């Protein structure tokens, strides 16, 4: 096993933030140097490349990894770190994950209560201001991954599909999330779900959506699980049963003001593990990760993050 390295391993996504990554990273890297923060940098060149790079960095002894990009970069890097931990039985708490936020959503840092300003972020990094975040394991019909923030099925995942389609067309502003949400609601599809949380069936019937979160924010500022705590060892969930479209429209503002938990038509709760059976695709941190059935586990492990 190589010796542990003290530098930050900076994985730069040149395609994040509508192509503004490189100019912003140049400024950020100058600030890092001015604060005597040691780092090495590497650029991604294809989807999921950051996962491979993070894994290789861990093999080479790096324990501090920085995403330069958005929520997708954070997700990929977390999965690279956790694959290394799974393969080697390393402790995730030996690792620190942070981000220079340049993406279009940046919901993970909102869930951590961090500013989007890169100068402030770097000041926290330089000061060694860290806390811990729970590790969440997600298993679908397609395999295993790890979730940094929030995932879902139903119109939640359909919104994700629509957002990613718009991103593929070059659209990168935060309004694509709201546009995609509205389009998906106007074309709501119901599915039958069976949801079991901590061994108890909490829902069995037709519904529109199920969200599950370790963090609070998703979709550029929505709060589907506004009571979630990123380090409490519990997963929050929100189930949207089949209710009328006017009722959903009335409750929509609560998604953005943090009061969706007051909507009596929804079912919300906390658990340590949850299973969902039914039909539909699953999204995790804004990435489509396969199809139902789904099983999510709070592993009891934690990783260091910025605070």
CA distance 303 to 307: 12
Q: Please name the residue that has the structure tokens 């709760």.
A: 269
Q: What is the pLDDT of residue 177?
A: 65
3-class secondary structure, 237 = strand
Closest residue by Cα to residue 21 from 53, 55, 67: 67
Instruction: Walk along the chain (307 residues) and give the pLDDT tens digit of each residue.
Output: 679 999 999 999 987 766 678 889 999 999 999 999 999 999 999 989 999 999 999 999 999 999 999 899 999 999 999 999 999 999 999 999 999 998 767 899 999 999 889 999 999 999 999 999 999 999 998 999 999 999 999 977 777 766 666 666 655 555 666 666 667 666 678 899 999 999 999 999 999 999 999 999 987 788 999 999 999 999 999 999 998 878 888 888 898 899 999 999 999 999 999 999 999 999 999 888 989 999 999 999 999 999 9
Q: Determine contact, residues 117/306, Cβ cutoff 8 Å.
A: no
What lies within 8 Å, CB to CB, of 238 at 6+ separation is 209, 210, 211, 212, 224, 225, 260, 266, 267, 268
CA distance 274 to 268: 13
CA distance 215 to 232: 11
User: Residue 6 class from Cβ within 10 Å (0-12 exposed, 13-18 middle, 19+ buried)?
Assistant: exposed
Q: What is the pLDDT of residue 166?
A: 63
Q: Determine contact, residues 217/110, Cβ cutoff 8 Å.
A: yes
Which structural domains are found in the chain, ordered by start?
5-128 (3.40.50.10330), 140-300 (2.60.200.40)
CA distance 293 to 143: 11
What lies within 8 Å, CB to CB, of 97 at 6+ separation is 65, 66, 67, 74, 77, 78, 81, 303, 304, 305
The b/e string for 159-182 (b: 16+ C-beta within 10 A; e otherwise) is bbebbbebbeeeebeeebbbebbe
96, β-bridge pairs: 64, 304
């Amino acid at each position: 096993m190589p010796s542990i390295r003290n530098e930050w391993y900076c994985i730069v996504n040149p395609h994040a933030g509508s192509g503004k990554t490189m100019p912003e990273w140049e400024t950020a890297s100058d600030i890092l140097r001015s604060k005597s923060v040691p780092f090495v940098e590497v650029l991604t060149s294809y989807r999921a490349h950051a996962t491979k790079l993070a894994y290789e960095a861990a093999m080479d002894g790096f324990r501090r990894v920085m995403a330069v990009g958005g929520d997708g970069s954070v997700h990929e890097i977390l999965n690279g770190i956790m694959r290394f931990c799974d393969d080697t039985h390393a402790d995730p708490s030996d690792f620190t994950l942070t981000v220079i936020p340049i993406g279009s959503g940046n919901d993970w840092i909102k869930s951590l209560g961090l500013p989007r300003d890169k100068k402030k972020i770097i000041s926290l990094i330089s000061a060694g201001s860290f806390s811990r975040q729970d590790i969440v394991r997600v298993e679908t019909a397609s395999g295993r991954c790890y979730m940094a923030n929030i995932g879902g099925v139903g119109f939640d995942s359909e919104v994700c599909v629509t957002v990613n389609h718009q991103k593929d067309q070059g659209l990168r502003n935060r309004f694509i999330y709201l546009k995609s949400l509205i389009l998906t609601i106007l074309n709501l599809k119901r599915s039958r779900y069976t949801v079991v949380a901590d061994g108890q069936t909490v829902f069995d019937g037709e519904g529109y959506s199920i969200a599950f979160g370790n963090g609070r924010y998703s979709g550029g500022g929505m709060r589907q699980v506004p009571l979630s705590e990123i380090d409490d060892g519990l997963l929050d969930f929100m189930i949207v049963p089949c209710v009328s479209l006017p009722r959903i429209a009335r409750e929509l503002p609560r998604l953005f003001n943090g009061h969706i938990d007051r909507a009596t038509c929804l079912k919300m709760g906390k658990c340590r593990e949850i299973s969902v059976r039914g039909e539909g695709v699953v999204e995790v941190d804004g990435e489509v990760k396969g199809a139902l059935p789904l099983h999510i586990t709070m592993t009891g492990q934690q990783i260091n993050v910025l605070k």
